[in-house]
Every structure is written in C-alpha cells, then in structure tokens.
Amino acid sequence: MMIRVLCVLSLWLGSVWAHGIFYDLKEGKALVFHINFSQTTPASFAKITIYEGESAIPLLESSCDERGVFAFVPPREGSYRAFVSGTSDHGEHTQEFDFEVGKDFSLSTYNQPLYERYSGVLSAVGLLLGLFGILSLIKSRKRD
C-alpha cells in the first residue's frame, strides 16, 4: 500500500511543474528574458507586456523571438512588472513577475519562479522516493 501511495505522489509531484511559463532574467547591455514552457522548450513568440511600478498602462507590449528570448532596456531605475502569455499545444499559459532596476540600470532583484527556488529540494525528495521505491521493490521480490 505504501509503495502505491509513494508512486502516485511522485507522479503528481512530477506533473506539478510539467507545463507552464518558466522565466529567467540576465543582465548585460539590456535585461534579457528567457521564457520557456519547460527547461528545454522555448515559449516561441510569447507575448510580453511590461508595466512600470503599479501602473495599469503598459510601458511596452512586444513578443519573444522563436527561442523565447526578449531584451528590454529600462528607461529609468525603479520597479517593473512583466506579464507573459504563451500558447503551447496544451493551451495558453501565463505568468506575471516583478523586477527591480537599480541606478546603474542593472537588475537589482526579481521574483524567482517557485520551481527555481525549490528545485534542488524537490529533486532530492524525488531521488530519495525513487531509491526507496526501487529498494522496496527489490526487497518485496526477495520475499516471494
């Protein structure tokens, strides 16, 4: 019974992050957004809208290129909000996140996606559950 519960739990945990919008910001001469549906599938031509501070009026509306990459040069320091919308074969996916631009127009902070903050912990838990499942299977076959 315990093995079945662990198998169902591991399948569910794997599907939680299977689809959606994933993002990463890098700084250089511009802020470069890398928008993906998964770690290997770019969100080609995903729509991106940038807002300054709490404004409801978009500062910029554009889209990513075919590799899911978008570059943005902020007009001034401050808080910004990005809204990303992309369509995959599983439907439309959206994501909204905030980021701060410093005086030198460098990236001060941004809200990292949940999967990025906890991916190490989830990977370790998944690995331990997998090893436990394999050991349980081997042990149950020795009893038979």
Q: pTM for this structure? A: 0.60
User: What are the sequence ranges of the domains in the chain?
Assistant: 2-143
From CA 110, how far away is CA 25, in angstroms rounded?
Answer: 8
CATH topology of domain 2-143: Immunoglobulin-like (2.60.40)
Dihedral angle over CA of 83, 84, 85, 89, nearest 10: -150
- pLDDT tens digit string along 73-110? 888 889 999 999 988 887 888 888 888 888 777 776 66
How far CA 116 is from CA of 38, 60, 100, in Å, comes to: 12, 26, 18
Average pLDDT over residues 11-23: 54
pLDDT band at 45 (very low <50, low <70, confident <90, very high): very high
From CA 100, how far away is CA 77, in angstroms rounded?
Answer: 8
